[in-house]
């Protein structure tokens, strides 16, 4: 049975886990990132719209609002340092009718409270000058110049490769099954499942480049860690419950999007939002850095944390 020790164990290889791994790699601590799937960004971090939000939609005073705005400001420099594709294309929230303009103003005030810079209210004429292919009868819009777009899995790989180059050990296909706290540290039991090597694993040198292995279950691995970071995404509640924390309750929803042909590249430049509802930001028009346009997402409740299927 393999036994390893590390100062920090990060559970989860999505954008949160890899970003934390990269940041911790700046310091004199040993860091291991453990992902249950055979590749990074296998869950929510690959299946999303790739939007770098401005922070206008988040409730003022919340941690989410603060981190969204601060994170947004980090992207231009990160893109230069890590060489991933990022576009500061901006975003607009549109009002269909005159009676929706007060809601736009409230949303603008919320964004200003959160520290979103450059947000402003524009009329129909200026909106159509920015986006001439939108419906000509739209009443008004908010413009958020700080909005951006990325390729989500490229971002995750870039973060992971930089973390690995700085000494972070990346372990893939390894699922945490038990956590015990004792003597000021944590003993973690995990089952390893071998699989095909992704680019990030090559950078981490955890498996030989381009090696493909038939999926097999190997002996349980034990990791002793001083600290654990729970970045397990939809499975964060399961991980937390292993140390007796049942406070995390996740009710998953699945979204689907239409992907349009690249011949429409530039047809819409900004990410276009409708006015949000209490449960959703709505159906968006989302340019991608590769030139496609996406329409969506939907938001359907599901009982599964691992349902990646589509309906069409």
Region 271-288 average pLDDT? 95
Q: What is the CATH number of the domain that holds 191?
A: 3.50.50.60
pLDDT-wise least confident of 40-54, 92-106, 155-169, 212-226: 212-226
Q: What percent of the chain has pLDDT over 90?
A: 84
Looking at residue 308, its pLDDT comes to 82
Looking at residue 215, its pLDDT comes to 40
Region 194-209 average pLDDT? 46
Could you tell me if residue 311 is inside a domain? no
Q: pLDDT confidence of 279, banded at 50, 70, 90? A: confident
Q: Give, in degrees to the nearest 5, the angle at Cα 188 between 45 and 195.
A: 50
Looking at residue 219, its pLDDT comes to 59
- From CA 146, how far away is CA 90, in angstroms rounded? 6
Of the candidates 88, 98, 99, the residue with the CA atom closest to the CA atom of residue 143: 88
Give the model confidence (pLDDT) of 297-306 as tens digits: 999 999 999 8
Q: pLDDT confidence of 137, banded at 50, 70, 90? A: very high
Looking at residue 60, its pLDDT comes to 98
Same domain, yes or no: 130 and 171: no
Give the model confidence (pLDDT) of 178-192 as tens digits: 999 999 999 999 998
- From CA 137, how far away is CA 96, in angstroms rounded? 7
Same domain, yes or no: 160 and 135: no
Give the model confidence (pLDDT) of 239-278 as tens digits: 999 999 999 999 999 999 999 999 999 999 999 999 999 8
DSSP annotation string for the chain: --EEEEEEEEE--SHHHHHHHHHHTTSSS-EEEE-SSSSSS-STTTSS--EE--STTSPTTSHHHHHHHHHHHHHHHHHHHHT--EE---EEEEESSGGGHHHHHHHHHHHHHHT--S-EEEEHHHHHHH-TTS-TT--EEEEETT-EEE-HHHHHHHHHHHHHHTT-EEE-SEEEEEEEEETTEEEEEEEEE-----HHHHHHTSS-TT------EEEEEEEEEEEEEE--GGGHHHHHHTTT--------EE---EE--GGGTTS--SEEEEPPPSS----EEEE-TTS-EEEE---EE-S-SS------
Give the model confidence (pLDDT) of 36-90 as tens digits: 999 999 999 988 999 999 999 999 999 999 999 999 999 999 999 999 999 999 9
The parent domain of residue 181 ranges over: 3-46+153-241
Q: What is the CATH number of the domain that holds 112?
A: 3.30.9.10
Active site residues: 53
**Domains identified in the chain, total number:** 2
Same domain, yes or no: 184 and 232: yes
Structure tokens at 248: 């995390």
Same domain, yes or no: 174 and 203: yes
- Please state the pTM of the whole predicted model: 0.91
């Amino acid at each position: 049975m393999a036994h390893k020790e590390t100062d920090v164990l990060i559970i989860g290889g999505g954008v949160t886990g890899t970003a934390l791994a990269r940041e911790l790699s700046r310091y004199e601590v040993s860091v291991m990132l453990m992902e249950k799937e055979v590749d990074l960004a296998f869950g929510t971090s690959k299946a999303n719209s790739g939007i770098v939000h401005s922070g206008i939609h988040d409730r003022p005073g919340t941690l989410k609002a603060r981190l969204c705005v601060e994170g947004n400001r980090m992207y231009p420099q990160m893109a230069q340092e890590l060489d991933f594709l990022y576009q500061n294309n901006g975003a607009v929230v549109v009002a269909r009718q005159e009676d929706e303009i007060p809601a736009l103003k409230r949303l603008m005030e919320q964004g200003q409270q959160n520290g979103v810079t450059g947000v402003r209210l524009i009329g129909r004429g200026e909106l159509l000058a920015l986006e001439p292919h939108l419906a000509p009868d739209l009443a008004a819009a908010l413009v958020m110049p700080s909005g951006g777009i990325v390729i989500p899995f490229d971002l995750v790989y870039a973060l992971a490769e930089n973390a690995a180059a700085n000494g972070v050990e990346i372990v893939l296909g390894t699922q945490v099954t038990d956590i015990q706290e004792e003597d000021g540290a944590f003993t973690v039991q995990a089952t390893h499942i071998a699989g095909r090597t992704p680019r990030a694993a090559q950078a981490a040198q955890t498996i030989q480049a381009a090696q493909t292995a038939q999926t097999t279950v190997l002996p349980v691995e034990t990791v002793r860690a001083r600290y654990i970071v729970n970045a397990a995404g939809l499975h964060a509640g399961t991980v937390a419950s292993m140390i007796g924390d049942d406070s995390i309750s996740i009710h998953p929803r699945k979204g689907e999007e239409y992907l349009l042909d690249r011949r429409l590249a530039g047809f819409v430049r900004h990410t276009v939002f409708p006015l949000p509802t209490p449960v959703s930001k709505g159906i968006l028009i989302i340019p991608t850095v590769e030139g496609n346009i996406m329409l969506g997402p939907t938001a359907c409740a599901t009982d599964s944390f691992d349902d990646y299927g589509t309906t069409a």
